[in-house]
Amino acid sequence: MAANKTQPTPVSPADFIETVEHPVRREDARTLLALMSRITGWEAKMWGPSMIGFGEYHYRYESGREGDFLRTGFSPRKTSMVVYILPGYADYSDTLSWLGKHKLGKSCLYINKLADIDLSVLEELIRAGLDDMEKKYPL
């Protein structure tokens, strides 16, 4: 089976952030880079052309598909900031209710700007997501 197409690259996350055109999204990306570096203790890596990841894990599905992917991270997209907190939010509805303005995907948050959310709640969600990852995919 094919492995994950999104792989780490040698591009510096800080250099990538400086190329983000939207000034608020660029500043928010700087903030998230510092926040996630502090929370995880891991060095940030670029995954593909636009994802900044922290840590990694190896997955293997029953289908036979396997690969490596980031444990947590974010991407400053044109329409919103996407925060990847795996493996999902099924048990976090109470915490998410305190976060602020966001949209939810299967394993990610869509945030227009960090000013719309409570960063301490985001930090709690990142830590909870990492704890869940550790249970399923121990380091």
Span 13-24, pLDDT tens digits: 999 999 999 999
Is 35 a member of any domain?
yes
CATH code of the domain in which 118 resides: 3.90.1150.200
Is 1 a member of any domain?
no
Q: Residue 25's domain spans which residues?
A: 8-136
Is 45 a member of any domain?
yes
Is 3 a member of any domain?
no
Give the C-alpha separation, 84 to 77, whole Å: 12
Is 115 a member of any domain?
yes
Give the C-alpha separation, 31 to 50, whole Å: 16
Strand partners, 109: 83, 104
Is 131 a member of any domain?
yes
- Structural domains counted in the chain: 1
Query: What's the pLDDT tens digit per position in 27-81?
Result: 999 999 999 999 999 999 999 999 999 999 988 888 888 888 999 999 999 999 9
| pTM of structure | 0.91
